[in-house]
Amino acid sequence: MNIVKRRQKKNIRNFEEERAEKLSELGDRLRRVRLELNLSLEEVSLRTMIGPRHLQAIEEGQLEHLPEPIYIRGFIRRFANALGLNGVELASDFPVESNQRLLNYSWINWPSAQWRPIHLYILYIVLIMCSVQGLSQMLDRPILQASRLDIEPPPPAKPVQQQERRPAPSQAKLTAKQSPTPSPAAGAVRIGLTLKAESWIEVVADGQTQFQGILPEGTKRTWEAKQELFVKAGNAGGVLMAVNDGQAKQMGAPGKVEEVTVKANPES
């Protein structure tokens, strides 16, 4: 077992090293092209809706400062497209296969995991027992159903008056729709974001990052904090923000980066 674990750790380590080397190679190429085009990270961020910190992490090959590998591949594709490169081809060079696949592969190829004759014999007995039990249940089911029909009387019909007292489905749905949205707790603050266009969003509640990424058009999200909420939008013109269930307002001009800080009212 110790040998198996050492092999698994070795495979994972080799895969992570390969992924880090590939990211460093791609990031260096993207940085050289960006400098040749005389573009800043902020300008590329507005084109791609990717935060400048993530763009810098890609260029410097800082894998630990980036999200899951599948998202990193999407960032590389959009980064390359913004620089006029073939984003699909460049992003396909970044590996995104999971570590679990490596674990499974190493376990399957270890000699001690091979099936032995005794294992096959036990499996054969279990399959026979399951088959016999299933066949017995299939044969007994019609007999039980027939006995129930002979013994159990038919259920009594429901009175007409009870059926008339039930509320109509339309009224029940209307009541559910009219139920008010719970207000934020006393002394807290709540913001609601509605995306009219795709935008990169960052939300920090009481110093803790709650969300950082791209939200598509039509998304509606709500966050709440006890003291303070910080919101940053890469495309402020496509984001409507409502504070404490108030009227939603546009955060800024289209294509502009805007930051908003909302503090909670202290309890009276």
Each residue of 142-162: pLDDT tens digit? 555 555 555 455 566 655 454
| Residues 89, 47 share a domain | yes
Is pLDDT of 167 > 60? no
The band of 113, judged by pLDDT with boundaries at 50, 70 and 90, is very low
pTM of the model: 0.38
- For residue 249, being part of any structural domain is answered with yes
CB 22 within 8 A of CB 62: no
Is pLDDT of 220 > 70? yes
Relative to beta strand 239-243, strand 249-250 is antiparallel
For residue 196, what are the domain limits? 189-263
Mean pLDDT of 116-134: 77
| Residues 100, 7 share a domain | yes
Number of Cβ within a 10 Å radius of residue 225: 22
| Residues 11, 83 share a domain | yes
- For residue 168, being part of any structural domain is answered with no
Quick one: pLDDT at residue 191?
93
- For residue 158, being part of any structural domain is answered with no
CB 220 within 8 A of CB 196: no
| Residues 217, 138 share a domain | no
From 106, 130, 156, the end of a domain falls on 106
Q: How many domains does the chain have?
A: 3
Which CATH number belongs to the domain containing residue 97 in this structure? 1.10.260.40
| Residues 197, 221 share a domain | yes
The band of 102, judged by pLDDT with boundaries at 50, 70 and 90, is very low
- For residue 11, being part of any structural domain is answered with yes
| Residues 79, 12 share a domain | yes
